[in-house]
Chain A
Amino acid sequence: AQSVTQLDSQVPVFEEAPVELRCNYSSSVSVYLFWYVQYPNQGLQLLLKYLSGSTLVESINGFEAEFNKSQTSFHLRKPSVHISDTAEYFCAVRNNAGNMLTFGGGTRLMVKP
């Protein structure tokens, strides 16, 4: 069994400030890790993923996440947020033997001008 914990349900931040959205997981086997973003009235979109290799992964819009196996974490960071980053962010895991994703409860990022 595996689980994902996103400790912060809401993160308010001012525009151009840095942000970190936390994600911790538990699993008895190796996992793949994902961050999805959900803009208002839209479906989930894949933001970035860790499958293997470099533990630091980046998205095209400036987000990055680092896989830390010893701390079982996959925190999402951005050095300077924009108003348009306001959305719900979901961390998810998939074990290497399965097909389905296990999601965290989500973190609502609210960027204020």
Chain B
Amino acid sequence: GAGVSQSPRYKVAKRGQDVALRCDPISGHVSLFWYQQALGQGPEFLTYFQNEAQLDKSGLPSDRFFAERPEGSVSTLKIQRTQQEDSAVYLCASSSRARGEAFFGQGTRLTVV
């Protein structure tokens, strides 16, 4: 596709519900990143993939957060038993090489009620 695509754009979840957020990176991009952007703050790193390998997950805030990229293309960020503090915009970015320019998607706004 022309850019990084994320779905859904908006998600409202009840506390305790599991959610799955999808990221379609730019075709051929080997690197994929997830960031969390709380209201009024800058994005914070969650995790990084190179192809299907998750090379860095140091930013995942708890074991309720899980990310996968099984075929080295589409990635899914899953949050189990959502809590109110999980409310944020989740941004996905991809780049053609490990330290190349990162292109960001529009994000998924998650609201936990």
Do the two chains bind?
yes
Could you tell me which A residues sit within 8 Å of B by CB distance? 4, 6, 9, 36, 41-46, 49, 90, 92, 94, 99-106
5 intermolecular pairs with C-beta atoms under 8 Å apart: A36-B104, A41-B106, A43-B104, A45-B104, A103-B43
Q: Which of A36, A42, A92, A106 contacts B41 (CB 8 A)?
A: A106
> A44, B56: Cβ atoms under 8 Å?
no
Asked if A100 contacts B45 (CB within 8 A), the reply is yes
A-B pair count, CB < 8 Å, reads 55
Would you give the shortest CB distance from A49 to chain B, in whole angstroms? 8
CB distance from B112 to the nearest CB of A (A): 21
Contact A99 to B98, CB < 8 A, known contacts A43-B4, A104-B42: yes
* Total interface residues in chain B, CB < 8 Å: 26
CA distance A61 to B85 in the complex (A): 37
CB atoms of A43 and B91 under 8 A apart: yes
Which residues of A sit under 8 angstroms from B3, Cβ to Cβ? 43
- In B49-79, the 8 Å CB interface with A consists of 55-56, 59
CA distance A105 to B59 in the complex (A): 17
